[in-house]
Amino acid sequence: MPRSPSVAAVLTMLCSRSIGRYRFHVAEGPVLPRSTARRFEWVEISLDGKVAVVTGAGPNIGSGIALALARYGAKVACNDIDPAAAQATVARVERNGGTAIAIPGDVTDEKVVTGYLDEVVETWGQIDIVVNNAALLGGKGILDESIEFFTDAVRVAALGNFLNTKHAGRHMAERGIRGSIVAISSSNGWSGSAGVIAYAFHKGGVNNFVRAAAMDLAPYGIRVNSFTPTAPTPDNPELIAERGPGGVLDNVRARGIGGTTGDEEWRRPARWAGSRPPFVPMGTTGTPTDIGHCVAWLCSDYARLITGCDLVVDGGARAKNFAYLPAPAGDLAGPAPVIPLERTGELDRQAW
């Protein structure tokens, strides 16, 4: 009579790290008897056979998401207004063993959007996943922002989300594809920061756009969700080489987040300029790799009933009460080590 697996053995099995077709054990544990192993199946998150479109696939968050989707098995079409940025992400994906094409273009132009979506369908036959990440960063506060920048920023976010969701959604609905659409929001879409009025306006709009679009597409089995990052630390090797290591929270600016203000005599300070206490309960808000893992899961069939929701991966930053000041990162245990997506040799040590 075969013996039952120990609790440690089962936990080791369930807590293994998986990326696409690869499995990585978190820790060594007892080996399951062959007869027992046959009664258990590994749970793998796989996007094999799926085709994804990522807009705003530039060097930071968009590139990290594109890489993650590819490492989990999807073919990825990388869009950016800058053809060189789209092609750089394609090169990164291919360097790490994935399949990708560049589909540069303006997400506010309907003919351009339908054109590059048609190109994806002609190339790979279908679209299963869309990640709307295109956005204009930066800007200024309400007293200083120009109508030109405000209009441009809102236009990119509004039409980029609308057009890609509309036309990819029609493609999915017509073909019976139970797809997944993810819009990238921001902590600035949920709470206020001085100096980013256009960004706050359009990210807040994204949040309710997602809920409304989720209701429109639910009858077709198509899910629409948002993901909210909070100042992630860049981890794209090319971006680090260009700009240096660290992100917003590592290289704190004296004036904090937000654009510059005028110097009129009547001006009052909009933000604290002194030394800043720690902000993040877990000591880090993560990286585009953390975002990529989460978005890949959200786009998988394991999340089949999750729609109209927002997923937050930020080490507890958004959940924190305004008066709570966490301990310094150096005093915290911190999160578990990140599972890397760049091929370093560690990822591909064992293929099953």
DSSP helix/strand/coil, 245:
coil
134 contact partners, CB below 8 Å, separation of at least 6: 55, 56, 62, 79, 80, 81, 107, 156, 157, 160
Q: What type of residue sits at position 287?
A: T
Q: Which residues fall within 8 angstroms of residue 229, CB to CB, at 6 or more apart? A: 61, 184, 186, 187, 285, 286, 291, 313, 314
Bridge partners for 99 per DSSP:
75
Residue 130 has φ and ψ, to the nearest 5°, of -130, 130
DSSP 8-class letter at 27: S
Catalytic residues: 186-187, 199, 203
d(CA 89, CA 78): 7
Say if residues 166 and 114 touch (Cβ distance below 8 Å): no
Position 226, amino acid? S
Per-residue b or e along 328-337, where b marks 16 or more CB atoms closer than 10 Å to that residue's CB: ebeebeeeee
E strand residue ranges, 31-149: 51-54, 75-78, 99-102, 129-132
* Calpha distance 337→99 (Å, rounded): 27
